[in-house]
Amino acid sequence: MDIDVLGALSVRENGLSVTPTAPKPRQVLALLALQADQVVPVRTLIDELWGERPPRSARTTLQTYVLQLRELISTALRQDPENTGGRTAKDVLVTLPGGYLLNTSDGTSDVREFERLAGLGYRAMDADDFAGAARHLRDALGLWTGGALADVQTGAQLEIETRRLEETRLCALDQRIEADLRLGRHRELLGELTVLVSRHRTHENLHGQLMLALHRSGRRSEALDVYQRLRNALVRELGLEPSAGLRRMQRSILMSGPESVPVGAGAGSERLSRVG
């Protein structure tokens, strides 16, 4: 079974889609896919589908959705010439005490591949292999084709999961940009960073990276403007001043030439992480 959730939901068995079109069965499959090869409790699935006020028929209705998913899986399995062992839909979507498990049988998962590549990137950063870090993290981010589960109606459980995934995406992006900065790719990053800070108005790391890229490109006044806009947004929206690291970066830019501010001066030591 092959699973993609970093964008639109796509679950395939034998290369054939087993992704339903109806909203609630899609929610069930999405939650099972996100926790593939792990038991998802019935209570968790019911909470995802109906929140704090499930109907009396919740368990029966959930079983109906599971049957619908198994019908799609059965259709795919029947068309698999290599399924000589008689693998059934119940072997793929398994009923276990207290819940259900989606058995991928060593299939692919874009989340797992993202986490593998991002991990390689983080380890390369720790080893000061900035070219390797940028390459691995760029490959990891390339697996994203949109927001996580972009075409799935989300309840409480999926909302938590999608937020977690988006945070891991932003962390990988932050590290990839830092690696590129350390490789001297300041001018190449200006367009990307300008878009990112407009989306994340109070994210200090991204603003610090844009300030550095502008400063190293000889655009000191624009770098200082970025700081001021961030400060205004933080005070207005959160009642906070910029962190000490970012304030130091601003002072360094005010007092220095383009090459005087070290890469990571505003973000590296404190890992600024206020996200807007």
pTM equals 0.86
How many CB atoms are located within 10 Å of the residue 53 CB? 6
Check residues 156 and 87 and name the one with the higher pLDDT: 156
Q: Could you tell me if 97 and 38 are in contact, meaning their C-beta atoms sit under 8 angstroms apart?
A: no
Following CA atoms 50, 52, 56, 57 in sequence, which dihedral angle do they give, to the nearest 10 degrees? 20
Nearest to 67 by CA among 95, 44, 40, 41: 95
Task: Report pLDDT digits (tens) over 70-120.
Answer: 999 999 998 877 765 678 999 999 999 999 999 998 899 999 999 999 999
DSSP 108-149: -BHHHHHHHHHHHHHHHHHTT-HHHHHHHHHHHHTT--SSTT
Topology at the third CATH level for domain 9-102: Arc Repressor Mutant, subunit A (1.10.10)
CA atoms of 88 and 104, how far apart (whole Å): 13
- Residue-wise pLDDT for 50-75, tens only, equals 998 999 999 999 999 999 999 999 99
Q: What is the mean pLDDT of the chain?
A: 91
Q: Domain 186-276, what fold? A: 1.25.40
Give residue limits of the domains in the chain.
9-102, 108-183, 186-276
* Residue 276: pLDDT over 90: no
pLDDT of residue 120: 98
Sign of the alpha-carbon torsion through 36, 42, 47, 49: positive
Residue among 234, 232, 235, 224 at smallest CA distance from 258: 224
pLDDT value, residue 116: 97
- Confidence band of 257 (pLDDT split at 50, 70, 90): low
- Cα–Cα distance between 141 and 121 in angstroms, integer? 11
Structure tokens at 37: 């090869």
CA–CA separation, 3 and 11 (whole Å): 5
